[in-house]
Amino acid sequence: MIPRLKPWLGKKELRAAFSRSKGDDVRKFEKTFAREVGQKHAVAFPYGRTGLIFLLNALNLRGKEIICPAYTCVVVPHAITYSGNRPVFVDSQPSDFNMDLDRVPDAVNENTGAIIATSIFGYPVDLDKLNVIRKTYPHIHIIQDCAHSFSAEWKGTPVQKHGVAAVYGLNISKLITSIFGGMITTDDEALADTLRYQRSKCLKTPGPGKTIRRLLYLLAIYPTFSNWVYGFINRLERSGLLDLFVKYYDEGKIDMPSDYLEQMTNLEARVGLVQLKKYRQIIDRRRALASYYNQTLFGIKGLKLPPLVEGATYSHYVPMVEDRNRFLDFFLKQGVQLGWLIEYCIPHMSSYGQKQGGAYCIAAKMSESAINIPLFSGIGNASIERIVDLFKQGKAL
Ligand SMILES: *Cc1c(COP(=O)(O)O)cnc(C)c1O
């Protein structure tokens, strides 16, 4: 069974998890993370969404409208809502899944507090257009959502530095993982200080209970992703075993995980430190795989391939198809689990649908037709050939 995603965890992460805490592992993770993404400060949180809530509050935003993509992870508007602000959604552009920056000025008004620019699936946000927006509205904060990109580059420039701060997610479905966890990076020292202060005031220090929970979760990942365990359990239901690990929202509810105010554990930070060392290698592999898929899957009828963009990090490889369920079913029967992210258009979800009208037809279309072909770093060549072959046979169509 080939799963739709698989974190690249090895012996070193296990060893790091079991090694003794020096007490300042989170601090060390922050420092190394900041260096890796080329920013002065990194501040760790239990989840990316927790970091976003704290960031919006540290920027003194309350009762404001925060512009974000209609096609992004639903935890983003949840965090906006939890921070006491209101999300305002902007449709995607057809070329690369990202928010259509040409439509942002229409969404801006005197109550706009921030714009969340997301490099969705690792496609770098268009910094030329974004910088025009920054100049036009200098009082509006730009926040980079780098959960899918970490260090995606627009024409050679890393996106994370083009804004007041950047937010990252670190759960096992992300490019690198610290089991759970999130990070905010910024070059603004005063902002970093405020974030640290608020964090020390409002977040609970994680106790041994949380550390043990995280350790057990990590230990469960290893056997779960072994071929036969994954295959066996996946056959029981389509959503599969993976959802036990990575299900992150409840349709119709705006909520947070119960431990979203309990700080990242040192254990998670130690795992994250090992993963950071692999980051470049992971991105190289993803770029090579995306390029290979684009070459070999080119011209297959009914399969609209995603763009290849220089500097993209390909957190997902996302072709679009007309009848997604047929693809998912066919491949599952053949022992390949395709993904279906992102499968919602947020303003159309019941939890947000009442709040505004307007058209989000491009995001809606993407949410109905996106599939994810397995692209994780540890995937073997035989698996890739098998996937390509299945597409070429055309039986899913
Ligand atoms: C994962 C993700 C986040 C942060 O997620 P957490 O689960 O809260 O760490 C933020 N934005 C996007 C686009 C994401 O995919």
Q: Percentage of the chain with pLDDT > 70?
A: 97
Count Cβ atoms below 10 Å from residue 32 Cβ, excluding itself.
15
Residue 252 pLDDT grade (very low, low, confident, very high; cuts 50, 70, 90): confident
Q: If you ran DSSP here, which 8-state letter would residue 175 be given?
A: S
Element containing residue 293 per DSSP (H, E): helix 266-296
- Please tell me the distance between residue 173's alpha carbon and the centre of ligand 1 in angstroms: 10
Q: Is the CB of 169 under 6 A from ligand 1?
A: yes
What is the rounded CA–CA span in Å between residue 152 and residue 49?
20
Distance between CA atoms of 226 and 168, rounded to whole angstroms? Answer: 27
115 burial type by CB count under 10 A (0-12 exposed, 13-18 middle, 19+ buried):
buried
Q: Ligand 1: does its nearest atom lie under 6 Å from the Cβ of 248?
A: yes
Task: Return the amino acid letter for 268.
Answer: E
Task: Say how far residue 214 (Cα) sits from the centre of its chain.
Answer: 20
Q: Which residue has the tokens 């805490």?
A: 21
What was the pLDDT predicted at 226?
81
The rounded mean pLDDT for the chain is 94
Q: What is the pLDDT of residue 358?
A: 59
DSSP string, 360-387: -HHHHHHHHHB-B----TT--HHHHHHH
Q: How confident is the model at residue 237 (pLDDT cuts 50, 70, 90)?
A: low
Which numbered atom of ligand 1 lies nearest the CA of 145? 11
Within 8 A by CB and 6+ apart from 132, the residues are none
Using the mean position of ligand 1's atoms as its centre, give its distance from the Cα of residue 361 in Å.
Answer: 23
Which range is least confidently modeled, 59-73, 81-95, 285-299, 343-357?
Answer: 343-357
Nearest Cα residue to atom 13 of ligand 1: 73
Q: How far is the CA of 201 from the centre of ligand 1 (A)?
A: 23
- Give the rounded percent of residues in the chain with a pLDDT score beyond 90: 87
Q: What is the DSSP letter of 299?
A: T
Report CA(76)–ligand 1 centroid distance (Å): 7
Residue 51 three-state SS: helix
User: What is the atom index within ligand 1 of the atom nearest the CA of 51?
Assistant: 8
pLDDT of 324 > 70? The answer is: yes
Distance in Å, CA 316 to ligand 1 centroid: 14
Residue 160: pLDDT above 70?
A: yes
Q: How far apart are the C-alpha atoms of 179 and 169, rounded to whole Å?
A: 10
From 33, 45, 49, the mutation candidate for ligand 1 (largest count of ligand atoms within 8 A of CB) is: 49
118 Cβ below 6 A of ligand 1: yes
Question: Encoding tokens for residue 369?
Answer: 């037709």
145 CB under 6 A from ligand 1? Answer: yes
Angle between helices 48-58 and 75-82 (to 10 degrees): 40
Q: Whose CA is nearest to atom 10 of ligand 1?
A: 147
Which pLDDT band, with edges at 50, 70 and 90, does 64 fall under? very high
182 C-beta closer than 6 A to ligand 1: yes
CA of 74 to the centre of ligand 1 (A): 8
The band of 232, judged by pLDDT with boundaries at 50, 70 and 90, is confident
Is residue 26 predicted with pLDDT exceeding 90?
Answer: yes
pLDDT band at 244 (very low <50, low <70, confident <90, very high): confident
Strand pairing category for 182-186 and 41-45: antiparallel
Position 230 scores a pLDDT of 80
Atom of ligand 1 nearest to the CA of 169: 9
Nearest CA to ligand 1 atom 6: 48
Residue among 76, 143, 246, 248 whose CB has most ligand 1 atoms within 8 A, to mutate: 76
Q: CA-CA distance, 388 to 125, in Å (whole number)?
A: 29
Question: Could you give the CA distance from residue 121 to residue 149 in angstroms, rounded to a whole number?
Answer: 7
157, containing H or E segment: strand 157-158
pLDDT of residue 347: 94
Buried b (16+ CB within 10 A) or exposed e, 251-265: eeebebeebbbbbbb
Residue 135 has pLDDT above 60, yes or no: yes
As a whole number of angstroms, the distance between CA 226 and CA 231 comes to: 8
Encode pLDDT of 37-54 as tens digits.
999 999 999 999 999 999
pLDDT at 201 over 60: yes
Q: For a ligand 1 pocket test, name from 97, 143, 145, 315 the mutation site with the most ligand atoms within 8 angstroms of its C-beta.
A: 145
How far, in Å, CA of 32 to CA of 26, rounded?
A: 10
Residue 354: what pLDDT? 57
Angle between helices 11-18 and 266-296 (to 10 degrees): 170
Nearest 5°: the CA angle 278, 171, 304 is: 85
Q: How far apart are CA 290 and CA 331, in angstroms?
A: 19
Is the pLDDT assigned to residue 119 strictly greater than 70?
yes
C-alpha–C-alpha distance, residues 107 and 65, integer Å: 9
Rounded Cα distance, 297 and 377, in Å: 19
Ligand 1: nearest atom to the Cα of 170: 9
**CA-nearest residue, atom 1 of ligand 1:** 169
CB of residue 47 inside a 6 A radius of ligand 1:
yes
Whether omega for the bond prior to residue 346 falls within 30 degrees of 0, making it cis, is no
